[in-house]
Structure 1
Amino acid sequence: MQTSKIKIKKYVTLICFGALLSMLNPAWAESDMQLQEKALKARELSRQGGVDHSAHTNPASEAEVFRGVFYGYLPCKEKDCDGFKMTLSLKQKNNYLLVTQNAMASAREYYDKGKYSWDDVSHILTLTSNKDSVQRLFTIKDAGTLIQLGSNGKPLPGDQDDYTLNRSDKAKSREVHIH
């Protein structure tokens, strides 16, 4: 009985040692990786036969390209207001998050979530709040700039540059300059 236990221990040790050596041999591991890569390439080539990939090069709409985070400092209509900071995040599945904050030290932030829609013809971005279905309208100046519009879709009074939100990856700085 003891001799069979000793033989089993020797075989288990020999098997473990052999397995360890096979894992540490880089030539075998590299050739396995190469075989796997070749198999994946061959599978992919066989799947691609006759498939049109032009749909992948252009997004379905400009709205998909325009997703991102936009920052800005917008003026107030009231005289006792210093303006407010606005951060708009356009997310996937047409969801948005809008954060506004009065431009005062330690001012409270206000959050609004909802859905956005995009009109490819007029280049109007419409935000519809989940809370009260209020709509905010923006137009696109260029690939990195949104301009807030009035509720009637017309430009707000004054210099339109005062109502701009700049995309974070297109803007030179996220710092807000308050007068």
Structure 2
Amino acid sequence: MIKINLTLMFFSTLLLTHQPALALSDMQMQEKVLKTRESTASPHMDHSAHEKPTDEKEVFHGVFYGFLPCDDCDGLKMTLSLKQNNNYLLVSQFAKASSREFYEKGKYTWDEKTRVVVLTPRKDAAIRQFRIQDEGTLIQLDSKGAPMPGNQDSYTLRRSDTVKSRQVHIH
């Protein structure tokens, strides 16, 4: 009797595992009907008007890294995270063996015509400006929005997906 029960269980399990499901789920069936209805009712209708237009100001974000010169230190390691909803986080660290990190949070705006990103901190800190060289590169500007003195490549932050490594060379 036990052999018969075990044999029946084995064959029923084997039968169930090798038989493909033939029925579509309710959701799959509804999607299929909706797609068929749309394609047959108005095959030449342009649906692009229904799409939400992309605001370029909401698209510009990313994490940028760089090692910038400093008047009274060996250099400044900087990480700028431009987040969605125009929030930013700026992490700065002086080039020393055990230097602490400084954090600044706030809002940012950018102007497509002038190609300038403006960082406005939450606390009493100076407003910072960066010129957008391209989608992956920001160049720091002075407090008046003018280029920094000297080699502009020294004031460059590069977006993380455009550089090979996050490591920044500190002297």
1:92-131 equivalent positions in 2, closer than 5 A: 92-131=84-123
Q: Aligned partners of 1:95 and 1:76: how far apart in 2? A: 26
Aligned to 1:52: 48
> Which deviations, in whole Å up to 9, do the C-alpha atoms of 1:12-58 show, x marking residues without a partner?
xxxxxxxxxx9x96424446565244035357768x955434855x7
Aligned to 2:7: none
Aligned to 2:165: 173
TM-score (norm 1): 0.73
Structure 1 residues 103 and 129, CA gap change in structure 2 (3 angstroms): same
SS at match of 2:80: strand
* Aligned-pair CA distance for 1:119: 1.1
In the alignment, which of 63, 68, 79 is matched to residue 62 of structure 2?
68
Q: Aligned partners of 1:43 and 1:114: how far apart in 2? A: 49
Aligned to 1:13: none
Fraction of identical pairs, as percent: 59
Aligned to 1:160: 152
TM-score (norm 2): 0.76
The CA RMSD measured in Å over matched residues stands at: 3.1
* Aligned-pair CA distance for 1:60: 1.4
Q: Aligned partners of 1:146 and 1:125: how far apart in 2? A: 8
Q: How many residues align?
A: 155
In the alignment, which of 142, 147, 167 is matched to residue 150 of structure 1?
142
Structure 1 residues 149 and 55, CA gap change in structure 2 (3 angstroms): farther
Structure 1 residues 164 and 44, CA gap change in structure 2 (3 angstroms): farther
